[in-house]
Amino acid sequence: MKIKTLAILGTAFLSLSVMSCDENRNEKEEQEVIEVNAEFEKDRNELRQDLRELNAEIDLKIKELEAKKVNASEEMKVEIEEIQADLREEKTDVEKAMEDVEKATENTWSDVKTSVNKTTRDIEDEWNKFKGNVSDIFDND
C-alpha cells in the first residue's frame, strides 16, 4: 500500500514539475514574441522615417531646380527638366518602398527590409551623381 501511495505521489509530483516547465517555456516564448514584435516595429518606424526624409529631400531638390529653371537658358532648362524627371522616378521608387514598408508583416519583414535598403542605396548612388550633374550644369552657366 505504501508503494502505491508513493508511486501516486511521485507521479503527481512529476506531473506538476512537467506542467511548471511547460508554463515557464510558454512564458519565455511569449516574451520572445513580444521582443521580436517590438524590434520589428522599431525597425519599421526607423525605415519609415528614413524614407520620409528622403522623399522630402527629393521634393526640395525638385522645387530648387524649378526655381533655377526660371532664369536658365533654354539649353539649361532642358537639362534641368531631365534631372527633374530622374528625381520624379526616384520619388516614385521611394513611395513604392514606403508602401512596401507599410504592408510588411513580421513574416515578410526581412525580404522587405532588404529590398528597401537596396532601393535606398540605389537612390543614394543616383543622388551623388545628381549632385555632380547639378554642379556641372550651374558651373557652366
Contact 94, 58 (CB under 8 A): yes
What is the per-residue pLDDT for 126? Answer: 80
The mean pLDDT of the chain is: 81
Q: How far apart are CA 51 and CA 121, in angstroms?
A: 12
What is the per-residue pLDDT for 81? Answer: 93
* Mean pLDDT of the 121-134 span: 77
What is the per-residue pLDDT for 134? Answer: 65
Q: Indicate the pLDDT class of residue 14, thresholds 50, 70 and 90.
A: low
What is the per-residue pLDDT for 9? Answer: 57
* Mean pLDDT of the 118-124 span: 86
All 3 cell numbers of residue 17? 514539475
Output b/e per residue, 40-67; b: 16+ Cβ within 10 A. beeebeebeebbeebbeebeebbeebee
Q: How far apart are CA 121 and CA 110, in angstroms?
A: 17
What is the per-residue pLDDT for 39? Answer: 87
DSSP state of 107: T
**Distance (Å) of CA 139 to CA 47, 77, 80, 81, 130:** 35, 14, 13, 17, 14
